[in-house]
Amino acid sequence: MPDQPKYLDSKLFSRLGRVGYKARRPMEGRLSGIHRSPHRGASIEFAEHKEYTPGDEIRHIDWKAAAKSDKYYIKQFEKESNLKVYFVIDASESMRYGSGARTKYETAGYLTAALSYLFLVQADAVGLIVHGAETQTYVPPRAAFSHLYPLCTALEEVEPQGTVGVAAGLERLSELARRREVAFVLSDLFDDADSVFQLLRRLRARRLSVTLFHVLDPDELTFPFHKVTRFEGMESAQRVLAEPRMIRDAYLQELGRFLSETKHRCLENDISYQLVDCAVPVEVVVNRFLTGRGGG
């Protein structure tokens, strides 16, 4: 029997709890799900009244309202719809870095698998785009729960390398995505920020709901080095021998500027921003995200 993909982690899935993702904006879809649709119809949640006109179904008349006003009104309901969800993962060389149990790419992989599990439980369709120098992985969206296996297999087959990062994946998504779908972008953002945000703005212009998971290692967030250290660029041949105590303050100041600017650009483009520390358990990241955004 073949080995199970490492990202198909049943213990992780069992720790996710019962919190789910509910779309903040009306979504379009063909399946029946838990998300509000922009189309009116007969369903679970009452939306509003409209005056009866010939041809409307009599069974939807609100007889209580008719008794009070001597006019006939039809109850309108909001249809519920499934989502089509895309995960776009950065597979550039810098995502191979990891000072603890998981690299940045592995953190992004487990986070994608965990959220995919929750979406598939809800009968939402999940797709995957992973881009690196030698990697151009695309798994089309499907809503079957069995789809989790090929998603996790595709995640495991990728080896991050080169300088081609998340911008290439967003280019591919812009070719595939339609209005009112959902995109999760997972990257350390060591890419051309202007290009990345230009592509994100393009997705938002199509009314996609976009969440950016900014994945960073604890070393990158805290700069815990003490002894003289040789720092090597993972996406370049650059090497620097430095005394960490002499550059820590400048590094942390630059990091703070980078994070603040990224958050600001997300805010002004109505993109949800989530900083992900690779040292934090994935189920904690997922549950903080879903409860923090009002997922029900």
For residue 238, the domain's CATH number is 3.40.50.410
Could you tell me the pLDDT band of residue 107, with boundaries at 50, 70 and 90?
very high
Q: Which of 50, 65, 81 is the last residue of a domain?
A: 81
Kindly state the helix (H) or strand (E) to which residue 36 belongs, with its residue range: strand 35-41
Q: Domain check: are 74 and 113 in the same one?
A: no
Return the pLDDT at 226: 75
Instruction: Give SS3 for 209.
Output: strand
Q: Domain check: are 161 and 229 in the same one?
A: yes
pLDDT at residue 81 above 80?
Answer: no
* Position 3 in a domain: no
Residue 290 dihedral angles phi and psi, to the nearest 5°: -70, -40
Q: Domain check: are 182 and 53 in the same one?
A: no
Q: Are 201 and 167 in contact (CB under 8 A)?
A: no
Q: Which of 60, 81, 102 is the last residue of a domain?
A: 81
pLDDT at residue 164 above 80?
Answer: no
Gap between the Cα atoms of 187 and 166, Å rounded: 7
Return the pLDDT at 55: 58
Question: Which is higher by pLDDT, 165 or 123?
Answer: 123
Question: Which is higher by pLDDT, 33 or 234?
Answer: 234
Q: Are 226 and 253 in contact (CB under 8 A)?
A: no
Q: Domain check: are 109 and 236 in the same one?
A: yes
Q: Domain check: are 108 and 65 in the same one?
A: no
pLDDT at residue 157 above 90?
Answer: yes
Q: Domain check: are 201 and 61 in the same one?
A: no
* Position 190 in a domain: yes
Q: Are 147 and 50 in contact (CB under 8 A)?
A: no
* Position 240 in a domain: yes
Least confident among 20-29, 111-120, 201-210: 20-29
* Position 27 in a domain: no
Question: Which is higher by pLDDT, 247 or 158?
Answer: 158
Q: Domain check: are 61 and 117 in the same one?
A: no
Q: What contacts 158, CB < 8 A, 6 or more positions away? A: 89, 91, 105, 130, 132, 135, 137
* Position 222 in a domain: yes
Q: Average pLDDT in the 18-27 region?
A: 55
Q: Average pLDDT in the 262-279 region?
A: 97
Q: Average pLDDT in the 168-195 region?
A: 92
Q: Domain check: are 168 and 283 in the same one?
A: yes
Return the pLDDT at 62: 72
What does the angle CA 140 – CA 174 – CA 110 come to, to the nearest 5 degrees? 50
* Position 223 in a domain: yes
* Residue 74 lies in domain: 35-81
Q: Domain check: are 235 and 91 in the same one?
A: yes
Return the closest-CA partner of residue 6 out of 221, 158, 220, 192.
158
Average pLDDT, whole number, for the chain?
A: 82
Q: Domain check: are 73 and 106 in the same one?
A: no
Could you tell me the pLDDT band of residue 35, with boundaries at 50, 70 and 90?
very low
Gap between the Cα atoms of 47 and 277, Å rounded: 41
Q: Domain check: are 121 and 61 in the same one?
A: no
Question: Which is higher by pLDDT, 191 or 168?
Answer: 168
Number of separate domains in the chain: 2
- Reported as a single tens digit per residue, the pLDDT across 216-225 is 999 999 988 8
Q: Domain check: are 53 and 150 in the same one?
A: no
* Position 1 in a domain: no
DSSP-derived letter for residue 162 is S
Number of residues assigned to the chain:
296
Return the pLDDT at 38: 47
* Position 187 in a domain: yes
